[in-house]
Amino acid sequence: MAERQEAASGSSALSQWPRLLGECHEEWAAAAASNTPVHWRLSARMQGVDLRGPKPFVDLQAQAKLGLVCQRCLGAVEMAVQATRTLRFEPDEATAAAEDANAQEDVLALTPAPDWAALVEDELLLAMPPLPVHDTCPAGVWETYTRPPASVPWAEQAAPAVSAAAASNADLPARKPSPFAVLAGLRTPET
Ligand SMILES: [Zn+2]
């Protein structure tokens, strides 16, 4: 493949990439995984690295728009993740491991045959931002996590009842009893 300078490219749905999917916001993934493409391209070439002659190289490119979990509001934040990596190949794992220590590029073995899909997935995982956040978090999402919902009845009604009781004890019998007064009555048996 490398000697003929072949290239291969394609795309498949995010639902086919379980490790990428695992990094995505759950609700976003449920809605988007089947129609969000992951694009990849592999192009092979021969390049000389030393006096032993040219070696096979593969330039890997991958790109996907992923709905990651915003680390500020925990909502989905869509981000374009792009990976570029140059891979060099040696005939077997022992040679690859020895060469990898000295080489600038990643050196992999040709035997056993490389799992190209796993390599593409590896590179996209490495290219993800470590702390994905919205530029500006959606206001509704942010309030959900910082304030109680406005419709909680006790939050609105308890305060006026308490302040009315404090203002004048004499008024209490004429007013509708506060929830606290009802509770006090239950606790103290009448004589
Ligand atoms: Zn956010």
The predicted model scores a pTM of 0.70
Comparison of pLDDT for 18 and 158, the residue scoring more: 18
d(C-alpha 125, C-alpha 50), whole Å: 32
Q: Tell me, in angstroms, the distance from the centre of ligand 1 to residue 39's CA.
A: 26
The CA 17 to ligand 1 mean position distance, Å, reads 24
Residue 162 pLDDT greater than 50, yes or no: no
- Return the pLDDT at 130: 94
pLDDT of residue 161: 47
- The pLDDT mean for the chain works out to 82
Q: What spacing in Å lies between the alpha carbon of 22 and ligand 1's midpoint?
A: 19
Per-residue tokens: 104: 């600038």
Q: Residue 34: pLDDT above 60?
A: yes
With a CB cutoff of 8 Å and minimum separation 6, the contacts of 19 are 121, 125
Per-residue pLDDT reduced to its tens digit, 51-68 = 878 999 999 999 999 999
Q: How far is the CA of 76 from the centre of ligand 1 (A)?
A: 7
- Whole-number Å distance, alpha carbon 155 to ligand 1 midpoint, is 27
Q: 13: CA distance to ligand 1 center in Å?
A: 25
In this predicted model, what pLDDT tens digit does every residue of 89-106 receive, in sequence order? 999 999 999 999 988 899
Q: Provide the pLDDT confidence category of residue 49 given band limits of 50, 70 and 90.
A: confident
Q: What is the DSSP string of 104-173?
A: SSEEEEEESPP-HHHHHHHHHHHHS-SS---SS--HHHHHHHHS--TT-HHHHHHHHHHHHHHH-GGGGG
